[in-house]
Each structure stands twice: as structure tokens, then as C-alpha cells.
Amino acid sequence: MKVAMKDGDSAMYPSEPGEWFFGDNHVIQFDDLYWISSDPYSLAIWCYNEDEAFEHVFQIRIGQVSDQRLIANYIPGATLANIGDEIQKIADAQDQSYEARRERLLAQLEELGE
């Protein structure tokens, strides 16, 4: 079974488009901070199974923080007075990362079309 998580059309985990997490009896664990800044404020989980003989199961656990006082605990040096600015910096960095991935993907598609 292969599993991936997306925010809209953008690959999140793994971060490269077309890549998947896979394995058998493996725990994939990591800490990450991810700001969902636009509607519908949800993530998509994609999975598929190439094995017709056995059923497979996966589990995803996500911690969510929405209160600004709690969010401040996860952003070093942020105070409630400047939490909005810090959140905006995180969102801007994510947008730049998405745009860079999008440009790479478009360049790859153009190369394939030549």
C-alpha cells in the first residue's frame, strides 16, 4: 500500500509530486509545523494498493492547534502581539515553496512535450 498527503493539488508528505510513503509494519514519524491558510482548511490523503491477495491498513495521526495562544508555543520568539506576523511569514514561505515546486513540475512537463 502506498500513501501520500496533499494540500489541494500540492504534495505535502512526501514533498515531491509523484512520491509515496510505503512499507510493511513501519512507523513513519516526524515533527512538522504546517499552516493551513485557506478554505477549505483540509488535507487530502491518497492511497492505493497493488496487492490483490491481502488487505492493508494505514493510520495517520495529526495534532491540530487553532488557538493563537497555543500557536505561539510552536513559533519560537513569537508573542501574542506579533503572532499574526509570524503566521504570515510561515504562510508566505509555504506559498514560495509551492510555487517553486509548481515551476519545476511545469518545466518537466515542457521537457516531456518537446
Report pLDDT digits (tens) over 59-104: 888 877 766 666 666 666 656 566 677 777 877 887 787 788 888 8
Percentage of the chain beyond pLDDT 70 is 82
Of 57 and 31, the one with more pLDDT: 57
Q: Do the Cβ atoms of 16 and 10 come closer than 8 Å?
A: no
Copy the grid coordinates of residue 61: 495521526
Of 60, 56, 23, 20, nearest to 43 (Cα)? 60
Q: CA 75 to CA 8: how far, in whole Å?
A: 24
pTM: 0.55
pLDDT of residue 81: 63
Cα angle 90, 102, 11 (rounded to 5 degrees) comes to 65
Question: Any idea where the domains of the chain sit in the sequence?
Answer: 2-113
pLDDT of residue 54: 84
Confidence of residue 24 (pLDDT cuts 50, 70, 90): confident
